Amino acid sequence: MKVAFLGTGLMGVPMAQRLLAANIPLIAYNRTPEKLEPLKAAGAETVERPHQAIRAADCIILMLTNAMAIYHVLLSDGSSSNLVGRTVIQMGTITPTESKEIRNAVVTAGAQYIEAPVLGSIPEAEAGKLTVMVGAYPEQYQRYLNLLKNFGPDPIYVGPVGTAAALKLALNQLIASLTTSFALSLGFVQRQGIDVDLFMQILRESALYAPTFDKKLQRMLDGNYGNPNFPTKHLMKDTDLFITEAKSVDLNVSSIEGVQQVLEAAIKMSLANADYSSLFCAINSDSMSLEE
């Protein structure tokens, strides 16, 4: 099976490298050609246009920014005609509504469609320890299980297309909300003159603790938001997607809308490309007002 990998950003490169390490023939495309260099050096074939990769492959893996990018790269007039008889595995974060619409377009073009978004960041992608969530027909899940195991040891079958995309958004909503809540408590403790080590000791021993707090603590204390595993702008995008989809099923989204305001403040502070722990900077900025 020859695989086309479309989208070689922060997550795409280590994921594609996992396939190369497993001796799976790979052809890669990225709209920024320079980002293909690590894969080219590792033995991947690279192309300048997405339709060239699609035409040469049996299976197409997408790790693109959003649904708009998927339509542009996969479903433009130049690419969609090459989809006949192929399978598309969509692994980025989009809404269940978008995933179903893309599924319909892919099937109309004569191909099969599977969604398989992942939970985890660059270290997990490099180690092949991502949590892979699959939305597909059961037989599609079984057919591509071994391929997906290159990204995570136990890909999880969630249900039909749309369910895995929804689960991914639910989990990313927790990333945004937990990080914001922790940043707010940490800032409050600091401004009250309470020892941070004591705060963390009590927190770690309580039912309130989540491991992500320790993963982001030092970045927040040091103000070190460089070399992100997951940039603020991506968390902003996923939060916007969650709010849109949650509103469509009549959920009260006031809590996550507050988080959205903090994310917007971080973006305005030129922290879009910083690690999302930079939410702490936005929360603790004297000039920030959530009432704007």
Question: Which positions are catalytic?
Answer: 168
HEC string for 190-228: HHCCCCHHHHHHHHHCCCCCCHHHHHHHHHHHHCCCCCC
Indicate the residue type of 34. E
3-state DSSP assignment of residue 28: strand
CB burial of 80-113 (b: ≥16 within 10 Å; e: otherwise) equals bebbeebbbbbbbbbbbbbbbbbbebbeebebbb
Chain centre distance of CA 213: 19
Per-residue HEC secondary structure of 78-113 comes to HHHCCCCCCEEEECCCCCHHHHHHHHHHHHHCCCEE
Amino acid (one-letter) located at 132: V
Residue 149 burial (CB count, 10 A): 15
